[in-house]
Structure 1
Amino acid sequence: MKTTREQAKETVHKDLVNNLQGLLEKNYDAEKGFTKAMEDAKDSNLKRFLKEQARKRNKFATELDREIRSLNEKPKEDGSTTGDLHRTWIDVKTAFTGKDDEAVLEECIRGEKASLEEYEETLKENRFPPNLESILTSQLSEIKSTVAKVKNLEDLAEKDN
C-alpha cells in the first residue's frame, strides 16, 4: 500500500505528464495547421513564413517529447481530433473563399490564439520544474510573437484586397 506522500508524488508526476502531453498534442496540431495553411497560401513570402512556423512547432514538439521521455513516459505521437476538425474547417472555408491568403491567415490566428490560451492556462494553473518552466515560457513567448506577426500579415492582406 502506498503512503500518502507516495500517492501525492505519483499524482504530481501524472499531472505533469498530462499537461506536457496536452501541449505536445497542441504543437502537433499547430505544425499540421501551418503546413496546411502553407499549401493553401498564394503569396510566396506568406508560404515561407508559414513553413517557418511549422518548423518552429516541430521544434517545440521535439522539446516536449524529450521532456516527457525524461520522465520515463511515452509521448503522444499525433495531434488531436479537434485539430483534425479545425484543418477540415480550413479546407471548407478556403474552398468557398477561393483559398485567399486573408482566409488562411484568419484561421492561423484562430489556431494560434487557442495555443496561446492553452499555454497561458497550463503555466498559470501548474507548477513546473524551473528548466521545464523555462522551456514552456520560451515557447509561449514565440507563440505570442507569431500571433502578432500573423495579425500584421492579415492587416496587410486586407489592405491589398
Structure 2
Amino acid sequence: MKTTKEKADENIHENLVGNLQGLLEKNYDAEKGFTKAMQDSKNQQLKNFLKHQAAQHARFATELDHEIRSLNETPKESGSTAGTLHRAWIGVKTAFTSDNDEAVLEECIRGEKACAEDYEETLNENRFSPNISSVLNNQLSQIKQTVSKVKSLEDIADSWS
C-alpha cells in the first residue's frame, strides 16, 4: 500500500508527463500542419520557410520525446484528432480563397500563437526540473520568433501574387 506522499508524488509525475505528452502531440500536429501548408503554398520563399518550420517542430518533438523517456515513460507517437481536423480546415479554407498564401500565413500565425499559449500555460502550471524547463522555454522562445516572422511574411505576401 502506498503512502499519501507516494501517491502525491505519483500524481505529480503523471501530471508532468501528461503535460509533456500534450506538448509532444501539439508539435506532431504543428509539423504536419506546416508540411500541409507548404504543399498548399504557391511561393517558393514561403515553401522554404514552411519546410523549416516543419523541421523545427519535428526537432521539438524529438526533444520532448527524449525528456519523456528520461522520466521512464513512453512518449506518444502521433498527433491529435483536433490537429487532423485543423489541417482539413486549412485545406478547405485555402481551396476557397483566391489568395492561398495569405490564408496559409493566417493559419500559421493562429496555430503558432495557440502553441505559444499552450507552452506558457504548461510552464506556469507545472514545476518541471531545470532541464525540462530550459527545453520548454527555449522552444517557446523559438515559437514566439516564428510568430513575429510569420507576421512580417504576411505583410509582404501581397508582393508574391
TM-score (norm 1): 0.97
> How many pairs were matched up?
161
Displacement of 1:8 in angstroms is 1.1
Deviations 1:87-118 (A, max 9, x none): 00001001101462101101111111110110
Shift in alpha-carbon separation, 1:26–1:137, aligned structure 2, 3 A: same
Cross-structure match for 1:41: 41
- Give, in whole Å, the separation in 2 of the partners of 1:115 and 1:133: 16
Cross-structure match for 2:84: 84
Cross-structure match for 2:22: 22
- Give, in whole Å, the separation in 1 of the partners of 2:137 and 2:71: 19
Displacement of 1:75 in angstroms is 0.5
Equivalent residue of 2:96, what SS? Answer: helix
Shift in alpha-carbon separation, 1:92–1:116, aligned structure 2, 3 A: same
AA of the residue aligned to 2:54: A
Cross-structure match for 1:63: 63
AA of the residue aligned to 2:27: N
CA contact (8 A) 2:23 2:119 kept: yes
Percentage of matched positions with identical amino acids: 70
AA of the residue aligned to 1:26: K
- Give, in whole Å, the separation in 2 of the partners of 1:15 and 1:99: 43
- Give, in whole Å, the separation in 2 of the partners of 1:100 and 1:129: 42
Structure 2 residues not aligned, in runs of 5+: none
Shift in alpha-carbon separation, 1:160–1:47, aligned structure 2, 3 A: closer
Structure 1 residues not aligned, in runs of 5+: none
Displacement of 1:160 in angstroms is 5.4
Pairwise mapping of residues 10-159 of structure 1 onto structure 2 (< 5 A)? Answer: 10-98=10-98, 100-158=100-158
AA of the residue aligned to 1:87: R
- Give, in whole Å, the separation in 2 of the partners of 1:157 and 1:53: 17
- Give, in whole Å, the separation in 1 of the partners of 2:17 and 2:135: 15
- Give, in whole Å, the separation in 2 of the partners of 1:100 and 1:63: 32
AA of the residue aligned to 2:140: L
> Which consecutive aligned stretches of 4+ in structure 1 deviate over 6 angstroms post-superposition?
none
Q: Aligned-residue CA RMSD in angstroms?
A: 1.1
Deviations 1:32-70 (A, max 9, x none): 000000011111111011000000000000000011111
